[in-house]
Amino acid sequence: MLDLDALLAANDGRLRPPDYVMAPERLGAARLTRYSFSRTLLRRAEVERWQAERCHLDLDDDGQGEVAYQIDAQDHQFHFVAFLQALPESAHTDRVIADRWEIAAALVEGPLDEARWAQLRENVPNQEDGRHDPGVLALTRGNRSVRFFERLVDVLASGEQPSIDEVGDAGYIMRSTAFYANGKYGMRSFDGYRDGHPLAAPYRAQFLAAWCYRELSYDVVEHCARARGGEAAARLTGEWRTFFGLGNATGLGLVPYAFKHPRIINAWIAVRELALANVLRADADQEAQSEFDWWMDRAIAHFATGTSADADPFLSPAELVPIATAIRDQWNRLRTQPQPFAALLEWARGLHVEAEELVVALLVELDRSLDETVDRLLLVDEHAPAELAMSVADARRHFDDRFGWVGSLDPSAARSWWWVYSDNTEEPRRAPRAAVALDNQDMGIDVAARMGDLGNALATAEPDATLGALVADNPELIDSVARLFVSDQPYGEPRDDATASGYLPLQLQRFQLAQYGMDNFKPKSTDWLRVTLFQGAPRLDDLGTDRMHDRWALPPMPRSTR
């Protein structure tokens, strides 16, 4: 079995250091890469020659009814089944707690016989309130785009293709509000996938469901256009055929996950950093340089056709155009030097943090070394026993190595916020500690503050004492001691305090969404942002054809054909 720790150790000295990589502003500049979950799913589908087709469509003229897709992967058969209704605009919400959606869908394994259809019809529209079994792999739900769905129907009904002013900057036809899997509500747990199962990789089921959901959006908008325009109606063609992705939005719910799963976060980042190191030390031959040229030009075209709307604290596409152009110009000056990729990355560090992380993402496009192993590298053991017999002196050394960064944080800003589950919705919330007393609902993600307490206790304890004795005298430290041992890998801990007065959730949210494979980051407050998934990606019927490829990220806005 591959050992991620061994790979990191073998590349020690070639990797960007954890203090640098895990800085909040750098996490908040992350971009999708070829090792993001959306990209690895489609590469796996291409390599293993999956097949997919729409196998059922029963919709009225308004797009209400049922649609199903069949996916054949290796010797497994899956179906994505969607139930659709129309809702008034006032009922649309990005909130995960909504109780009404225009689309409710499930990814299931096995055939769709009448008994299965009956079970799905009864339960999938109810989502978490339904009764599900291990044959159900993922649940999702969402709505049509209020701004653009009807516009696209009208354009296609008239026999035309869209133009830029009719799709704005959204890049999606429908949006999702949640993807549930991994044993929730009776569905199959991740441990329920046997070795060799095509979905036995982190987030594989959820992203297969998302890819099918995106296909659904195309089919429904074209169906409604045909109902409205008859034989004169057009289908999306040319660049428009793959331009639209699936909309999504996220709030505070992502933040606790990142703080509670340091070994998973480490694996996500380690894969990217290993790939980057591979590129930097490899020869920049003509093929690699030409590939980088292609991605650099594509990024500039993508940003140049994007929005200039404010994306604070991130840069908008319009603001990224001169940065990306400057990167390309500098690359052309460096390309004949020894190790030009490393020289370019070093130069980019003097620019905006998003410039460097853009260079990182584009360089990672050149790496193929982890394609066959990435799924296994992301399978991690999150359990680590606390060594209570360890001496305080040894524990101090571990603490300084793994949590020395805590001392650089402002202690006066700590513990300004509670992170709690709300009473009414069970969603994560931030609440001012000075205003409320919520000890019994604290989510326990004040990692920096708690580890600071442990560091202080270790500093004053007798060096020869054991950790067990320290915990016996200070039982409130038990969780911090456990964290000391589970955080034994370099990239697991964001160098930030989620309870600090100036904490900005958007930065960690963007990092996670980039790892999922999302782009077009549009903050709507300090706590939530909208994104797009699978924009530019191949369609289901591209499987098994020469249209299936991996160079689909960063699509430019299509030119109007009207």
Q: Are residues 120 and 211 in the same domain?
A: yes
Helix, strand, coil percent values for the chain (each to nearest 5): 45, 15, 40
Length of the chain: 562
Angle, vertex CA 427, rays to CA 426 and CA 433, nearest 5 = 95
Q: Omega of the bond prior to 313 within 30 degrees of 0, cis?
A: yes
Q: Are residues 350 and 462 in the same domain?
A: no
pTM: 0.95
B/e letters for 65-93, b = 16+ CB within 10 Å, e = fewer, are bebbbbbebeeeebbbbbbbeeeeeeebe
What's the rounded Cα separation, in Å, for the pair 469 and 274? 40
Q: Are residues 82 and 223 in the same domain?
A: yes
More reliable by pLDDT, 394 or 435: 394
Angle, vertex CA 269, rays to CA 268 and CA 270, nearest 5 = 95
What's the rounded Cα separation, in Å, for the pair 504 and 313? 9
Q: Are residues 26 and 105 in the same domain?
A: no
More reliable by pLDDT, 429 or 483: 483
When mean pLDDT is compared across 54-63, 168-177, 478-487, the lowest value belongs to: 168-177
Instruction: Give the CA distances from residue 381 to residues 35, 198, 431, in Å, rounded to whole numbers and listed in that order.
Output: 20, 20, 33
Which tokens go with 337?
A: 């030097």
Of 160, 249, 203, 259, give the one whose Cα is nearest residue 378.
203
Q: How many distinct structural domains can be found in the chain?
A: 3
pLDDT value for 1? 43
Contact by Cβ (8 Å): 506, 212: no
For 360-383, what is the mean pLDDT? 96
3-state per-residue secondary structure call for 70-114: EEEECCEEEEEEEEECCCCHHHCCCCCCCCCCCEEEEEEECCCCH
Which tokens go with 256?
A: 């606790």
Which tokens go with 558?
A: 């299509």
N-to-C CA span, the chain: 55
Amino acid 224 reads C
Q: Are residues 341 and 404 in the same domain?
A: no
Of 121, 109, 95, 257, give the one whose Cα is nearest residue 178.
95
Last residue of a domain, one of 418, 452, 486: 486
Q: Tell whether 428 is covered by a domain.
A: yes
For 364-374, what is the mean pLDDT? 96
Q: Which domain holds residue 451?
A: 392-486
β-pairing, 417-421 vs 103-109, is unpaired
What 8-state DSSP symbol labels residue 426? Answer: -
Contact by Cβ (8 Å): 404, 490: no
Q: Tell whether 387 is covered by a domain.
A: no
Checking if the pLDDT of 4 tops 70, the result is: yes
pLDDT digits (tens, 9 = 90+) for 109-127: 999 999 999 999 999 999 9
pLDDT value for 531? 95
H/E segment holding residue 401: helix 392-403
Q: Are residues 182 and 105 in the same domain?
A: yes
Of 26, 361, 74, 364, give the one whose Cα is nearest residue 204.
74
H/E segment holding residue 452: helix 447-460
Q: Tell whether 518 is covered by a domain.
A: no
Q: Tell whether 310 is covered by a domain.
A: yes
What 8-state DSSP symbol labels residue 485? Answer: H
Contact by Cβ (8 Å): 472, 457: no
Contact by Cβ (8 Å): 303, 317: yes
Q: Are residues 345 and 278 in the same domain?
A: yes
What's the rounded Cα separation, in Å, for the pair 467 and 388? 5
* Average pLDDT of the chain, as a whole number: 93
More reliable by pLDDT, 65 or 148: 65
Residues 6+ apart with CB under 8 A from 550: 34, 39, 42, 43, 46
Range ranked top by mean pLDDT from 273-287, 411-425, 430-444: 273-287
Q: Are residues 247 and 267 in the same domain?
A: no
Q: Tell whether 492 is covered by a domain.
A: no
What's the rounded Cα separation, in Å, for the pair 237 and 547? 13
Q: Are residues 26 and 53 in the same domain?
A: no
Q: Tell whether 197 is covered by a domain.
A: yes
pLDDT digits (tens, 9 = 90+) for 424-471: 767 788 888 888 776 667 888 999 999 999 999 999 999 999 999 999
What's the rounded Cα separation, in Å, for the pair 197 and 183? 16
When mean pLDDT is compared across 156-170, 215-229, 284-298, 353-367, the lowest value belongs to: 156-170
pLDDT value for 300? 98
Residues 6+ apart with CB under 8 A from 195: none
Q: Tell whether 529 is covered by a domain.
A: no
3-state per-residue secondary structure call for 258-316: HHHCHHHHHHHHHHHHHHHHHHHHCCCCHHHHHHHHHHHHHHHHHHHCCCCCCCCCCCC
Q: Tell whether 491 is covered by a domain.
A: no
Instruction: Give the CA distances from residue 527 to residues 284, 313, 448, 513, in Å, rounded to whole numbers and listed in that order.
Output: 41, 12, 20, 14
Place 92 in a pLDDT band, splitting at 50, 70 and 90: low
DSSP-assigned states of every residue in 154-219: HHHHTT----HHHHTTT-EEEEEEEEEETTGGGPPPGGGSPTT-TT-STTHHHHHHHHHHHHHHHH
3-state DSSP assignment of residue 537: coil
Residue 530: alpha-carbon gap to chain centroid = 12
Q: Are residues 8 and 102 in the same domain?
A: no
Checking if the pLDDT of 562 tops 60, the result is: no
Q: Are residues 282 and 133 in the same domain?
A: no
pLDDT value for 443? 87
pLDDT value for 253? 87
pLDDT value for 164? 80
Residues 6+ apart with CB under 8 A from 12: none
Q: Are residues 370 and 234 in the same domain?
A: no
Q: Which residue's structure tokens are 């000056």?
A: 333
What's the rounded Cα separation, in Å, for the pair 57 and 208? 19
For 259-273, what is the mean pLDDT? 97
